Structure 1
Amino acid sequence: MKCIVGLGNPGKKYEKTRHNVGFMVIDELADANNWNVTQEKFKSLYTVEHVQGEKVLLVKPQTYMNLSGEAIRAFADYYDIDLEDILVIYDDLDLPPGKIRLRQKGGHGGHNGIRNTIDQFGSKDFKRLRVGIGRPQGRMAVVDYVLGTFNEEEKPDVEDSIQQAVKACEAWMDQPFLEVMNVYNQS
């Protein structure tokens, strides 16, 4: 079973913010495949789907970003999912809007949702799909930036990165992750 988790914050207030691109990717992936991420368990919205004979779990933790790992851990324990079969999608300040990067493992890079996930599992060995949101200009605080919405100039690039992320997730459903990385880390 593969588990694809999009990180974000619940509620209308955060819906279109930069910090919620993980949710946006899950929503777009679900829409593209006519899936509904509406079941509730472990403080999350989720669905279990079947793709080419394998179960795929899509999860949107509703714990708020800083506690995302708690929900991911609960699903991993309940469904007995190996850490290597978990892909976490999240926003990245170090990538410009329009860019995505896939990694097999790594540190938290200052991202509290990833930090909490590492803490919950005691390991950095889970797959990541980073979606670029860029850095704030001038003296804007990072927290204000990530909780803000994309400006009109960023929106086309962000839409493109969300579509690329969806394609990468779909590719991982039936291809080795390294092959998916080789394709989608090129752009």
Structure 2
Amino acid sequence: MKLIVGLGNPGKKYEQTRHNTGFLVIDKVAEKLNTQFSQTKFHSFYTVVVYNNEQVMLLKPQTYMNLSGEAVSAAVRFFKIKHEDILVIIDDLDLPIGKIRVRANGSAGGQKGLKSIIDHLSDSNIPRLRVGIGKNPLIDTVDYVLGKVEPENRDLYQKSITEAADTVLLFIKGGVKEAVDRNNGKNNGSNTPTTKPTSGD
């Protein structure tokens, strides 16, 4: 079984915010796989489908970002999922809007949801898909990640959401190596996002 985890915060307050990029990507994956998050367990909404002759679990933790490891570790233990068969989808401040990156392992890089997962699984060898949200030095980081993408950057952002969902399907079919080889070599997000010197969203 493959486990695909999209990270975000629950509730309408956080819908469509930068920090909920993981939710947006996994929603797009669910759309492509013609499924819905109709089940609740592991402090999450989830669904299980068969794709490419393999069972795939799509998981949206409802614990809030910083406690995501509680949900993921519960699902991993229940289904006895190998860590290399997990893909965690997260937003990344250090990548510009339009860029996505796949890594097989490494540190959390300041992403608290991923850190929680690494801590609960006691393993940093967790594949992750980072989706760029950029940064604005004039806006407090917390306010920025909990804000929405500027209108002038939304087309580029939505394109990256779709590319990230396609990358998830590559991971399901060929594992992290396939996703890394096929995606990181692409010049995705070649357009430059617009940055305005504003103090808020």
- State the TM bucket, normalised to the shorter chain: over 0.9
Show the counterpart of 1:176: 175
Segments of 5+ residues of structure 2 without an aligned counterpart are: 188-201
**Other structure's SS at 1:175 match:** helix
RMSD: 0.9
> Are 1:58 and 2:58 an aligned pair?
yes
Show the counterpart of 1:145: 144
Deviations 1:26-48 (A, max 9, x none): 11111122111121001100001
Show the counterpart of 2:136: 136
Amino acid at match of 1:107: S
Normalised TM-score (structure 2): 0.90
Q: How far off is 1:105 after superposition?
A: 0.4
Structure 2 counterparts to residues 65-76 of structure 1, below 5 A: 65-76=65-76
Alpha-carbon distance in 2 for matches of 1:180, 1:71? 24
Q: How far off is 1:137 after superposition?
A: 3.3
Alpha-carbon distance in 1 for matches of 2:141, 2:67? 19
| Segment drifting more, 129-138 vs 57-66 | 129-138
Deviations 1:59-114 (A, max 9, x none): 00000000001100000000000111100000000000110000000101111101
| Segment drifting more, 75-84 vs 26-35 | 26-35
> Are 1:159 and 2:158 an aligned pair?
yes
Alpha-carbon distance in 2 for matches of 1:43, 1:176? 26
Alpha-carbon distance in 1 for matches of 2:66, 2:179? 28
Amino acid at match of 1:157: L
Deviations 1:108-143 (A, max 9, x none): 1111101111110111011000000001232x1100
Alpha-carbon distance in 1 for matches of 2:175, 2:143? 37
Show the counterpart of 2:197: none
Alpha-carbon distance in 2 for matches of 1:101, 1:49? 25
Amino acid at match of 2:109: G
**Other structure's SS at 2:182 match:** helix
Poorly superposed stretches of 4+, deviation over 6 Å:
none
Alpha-carbon distance in 2 for matches of 1:172, 1:32? 14
Amino acid at match of 2:105: K
Alpha-carbon distance in 2 for matches of 1:2, 1:16? 26
Normalised TM-score (structure 1): 0.97
Segments of 5+ residues of structure 1 without an aligned counterpart are: none
Show the counterpart of 1:9: 9
Show the counterpart of 1:27: 27
Q: How far off is 1:53 after superposition?
A: 2.0
Show the counterpart of 1:185: 184
Question: Is the 8 Å Cα contact of residues 44 and 59 (structure 2) preserved in structure 1?
Answer: yes
